[in-house]
Structure 1
Amino acid sequence: MTLSDNDLRAVRAHAQLLTVPATDVLAVVGSVAAVQAQSTPAARLAIRARGRGLTASDVDASHAVTRTWLMRKTLHLVPTADLRWLNRLFGPRNAHAGQGRRRQLGLTDELCELALGKIQDLLPGKALTRQEILDGLAAEGITLDAKSQAPAHLLAYAANRGLVCRGQDTGTEPTYVLLDEWVTGSRTPDEPHTELAHRYLTAYGVATSEDFSAWSGLPISLCRKAFAALDPVPVGDGFALSETDLSAPPCPPRLLGAFDTYLLGYRDRGLLLDPAEAKRVNSGGGMIAPTVLIDGRIAGTWHTKRTAKLTKVVVEPFATLPRSAIAGLESEVDDYGRFLGETAVLVS
């Protein structure tokens, strides 16, 4: 089967809940497989764009979803019930990949094992910030420079080893908890790679095994094997699950946050973003700007200017937007303000 570019974008946006939003945080995160979450504000906005009636506080308070280091060694927000099997899938791979950098930072294997034992003693029944963990380690004779990258790499290693995960934030400061205390119930799929591929195709509509590899960071050989096990339906140059809705309605205008999963889910982003405008979205250093989505295609970027009384959402389109798109963005800005508990207005 072959779809037009417009229809393909509609299918992908629908799969990402950008056409029909969900009503709770877990439904959003579970439907899109994982939300990139190295930026907490950006992760909140990813859920806002795919949710109905939710607030930033709803996201922060949810114990049903959890952050830890998974795909591409990056922090992701996933259903808490999936944390164990995803950690077993990605943790050893991530820990091995980070070994060289840890050694550069003075985190030898011996020091890491000693520190993990101390962290396990520090955390029972508690949620501690990074500084509180560093203070506890220092009291036991393990001193790390708080201004270096060593603490972050140690905590990522502890998470990859299945010892800790992120707890709820204290203000703007993340906390860490014992994974075994945080996760009270979990699922264990028989074939983790196949299960992840199924969730990926559910979330991204039509894609290739190369897209799956780029999104997950898993070797292409494993990704091809997982796709083959699903026996997906060929759609143009990609594949879809047999239950995928290939007649999805057009996507309404959306404001997507930085690092949005809609753009990060594919190796080739040309269908979603004009290559001539790519540097306006990804200027380098791994940064992905907040974007404006019109008919499933990236049509510009946006940022905010805040005062004590008002938040201005400044849209910078790649080309002149039609009046219908501007009306849709005004509705999005209203919802953005409601989500954050701010008064927001569109500036274009």
Structure 2
Amino acid sequence: MVNPALVEARLTALGLAAPSRDTPAQVLTDLGPMQGQELPGVTSSIALRLTGQDAATVQEAFTDGSIVRGYPMRATVFALAAEDAAWVTELCAAPQRTQSRRRLAKDGLTPTDIATAHDLLLEHPGGLSRADLAALWASHGLPETRPFLYLLVRDMLLHGTAVYGPVTGSGDQLVVPAETWLPAGSGLEGRFNGDATAATAALLLRYLHGHGPAGLRDFAWWTKLPVKLIRNAFTLVRDEMEPAASFSPALGEDAWVRPGLVDEITAAATAAHGTFLLPAFDELMLGYRDRLAFLADNHHDEVAPGNNGAFRKTVVRGGKFVATWRAPKTGVSRNLSLSPFRPLSATAERDIIRTFRSYPHP
């Protein structure tokens, strides 16, 4: 059953109802990694949580190295604060690293081939575009087809050799060596003395503070970390959380929020009940195990056709998902195209258009 109160609580926790962060790095430090396989989408997602809601500020943060993208967990791309990229990837990506090497071996690449691919990037501390990287690899006898490019770049990100850094003029990101781009000593050993439980506790605290109401099963799905490890880590941060009993029935488990969130929800009630245009892969949609706790089954089919990992941009109004949207570009302008789940009132359409005009397009 759709629960508008749950949506409004999460809009508040996620920093959408009352944007208060001043920098993209602060957004990602407070919330933890944000789903980022679509670069324009995660740029807008971060910008929506900034006081200025400026996409250019996010692109500058990628360029100055304070934020990056990588494959830290769940076999997909996330944006992270640069200071978190190494330790979160070490903590969460081990299963994906193993799968990556098996896949590359199946496709005929030897350990020497893979090491050569990694080493060639390290010879370019300023990074390379993916096209230039593919050409460099091809000049050393490595495959240059698009599938191999994807698999090898992903392998470098999973193993901590590289991250995605500055945004190029074409809207792509350079692949840059982690050793020159990430802060020194920001790995698991440097940050947590190699203690996986302490690191999990730190990540869990950020998740529950920035995503609550949410439960441990949400976090387990989000990170793919072992449940036993998560339960042990929770004992370290339990005193820094508050139960959100009223949401437990909707979530099917104990729900947790950061201290004071209930008061924040009350203070932000009008804003949280307002109108939001969200990118396709925003954490409100992708940060939880069970989307049907806040999105009707038939509407989920509209948002994620075929449930195959592709998502559409959404409109939230009054704590309910009411439409998907597009903004095709004509020249230098963008035109709003709505696909409502049911007929919208004239007032709702005006509010959506007003919100669209301030949306932070990259």
| TM-score interval, smaller chain | 0.7 to 0.9
Counterpart residue identity of residue 134, structure 1: A
Matched, 1:263 2:316: no
5+ unaligned residues in a row in structure 1: which ranges? 342-348
Among 255, 272, 296, which residue is 1:239 paired with? 255
Query: SS in structure 2 opposite 1:51?
Result: coil
Shift of 1:332: 1.4
Judging by fraction of residues, say which structure has more helix: 2
Among 292, 302, 311, which residue is 1:280 paired with? 302
Cα separation, partners in 2 of 1:136 and 1:6, compared to 1, 3 Å: closer
Cα separation, partners in 2 of 1:184 and 1:116, compared to 1, 3 Å: same
Cα separation, partners in 2 of 1:203 and 1:322, compared to 1, 3 Å: farther
Cα separation, partners in 2 of 1:278 and 1:5, compared to 1, 3 Å: closer
Taking the aligned partners of 2:276 and 2:258, their CA distance within structure 1 comes to 27
Q: Is the 8 A contact 1:24 1:51 kept in 2?
A: yes
Counterpart residue identity of residue 9, structure 2: V
Q: Hey, what does 1:345 align to over in structure 2?
A: none
Q: Hey, what does 2:124 align to over in structure 1?
A: 123
1:33-112 mapped onto 2 (5 Å cutoff): 33-62=32-61, 63-112=65-114
Cα separation, partners in 2 of 1:324 and 1:215, compared to 1, 3 Å: farther
Shift of 1:323: 4.7
Q: Hey, what does 1:155 align to over in structure 2?
A: 153
Taking the aligned partners of 1:207 and 1:273, their CA distance within structure 2 comes to 16
Shift of 1:317: 1.6
Q: Hey, what does 1:310 align to over in structure 2?
A: 333
Query: SS in structure 1 opposite 2:172?
Result: coil
Query: SS in structure 1 opposite 2:292?
Result: coil
Taking the aligned partners of 2:317 and 2:223, their CA distance within structure 1 comes to 26
Query: SS in structure 2 opposite 1:128?
Result: coil
- The superposition leaves residues 202-240 of structure 1 with CA deviations (integer Å, 9 ceiling, x where unpaired) of 111111111111111223333333334322433232332
Q: Is the 8 A contact 1:90 1:160 kept in 2?
A: no
Taking the aligned partners of 2:39 and 2:242, their CA distance within structure 1 comes to 36
Shift of 1:12: 1.2
Matched, 1:299 2:298: no
Q: Is the 8 A contact 1:205 1:244 kept in 2?
A: no
Q: Is the 8 A contact 1:49 1:254 kept in 2?
A: no
Taking the aligned partners of 2:208 and 2:299, their CA distance within structure 1 comes to 27
Query: SS in structure 2 opposite 1:53?
Result: coil
Moved more, 172-181 or 320-329: 320-329
Taking the aligned partners of 1:263 and 1:127, their CA distance within structure 2 comes to 32
Taking the aligned partners of 2:88 and 2:298, their CA distance within structure 1 comes to 36
Shift of 1:71: 2.0
Q: Is the 8 A contact 2:97 2:158 kept in 1?
A: yes
5+ unaligned residues in a row in structure 2: which ranges? 249-253
Q: Hey, what does 1:254 align to over in structure 2?
A: 276
Q: Is the 8 A contact 1:36 1:76 kept in 2?
A: yes
- The superposition leaves residues 225-282 of structure 1 with CA deviations (integer Å, 9 ceiling, x where unpaired) of 3334322433232332451412403312110001111111111112321112111001
CA RMSD, Structure 1 to Structure 2 (Å)? 2.2
Q: Hey, what does 1:178 align to over in structure 2?
A: 177
Q: Hey, what does 1:199 align to over in structure 2?
A: 206
Q: Hey, what does 1:218 align to over in structure 2?
A: 225
Q: Is the 8 A contact 1:80 1:186 kept in 2?
A: no
Shift of 1:186: 5.7
Moved more, 214-223 or 15-24: 214-223
- Using the size of structure 2 for normalisation, the TM-score is 0.84
Question: Relative CO higher for 1 or 2, CA cutoff 8 Å, sep ≥ 6?
Answer: 2
Cα separation, partners in 2 of 1:177 and 1:7, compared to 1, 3 Å: same
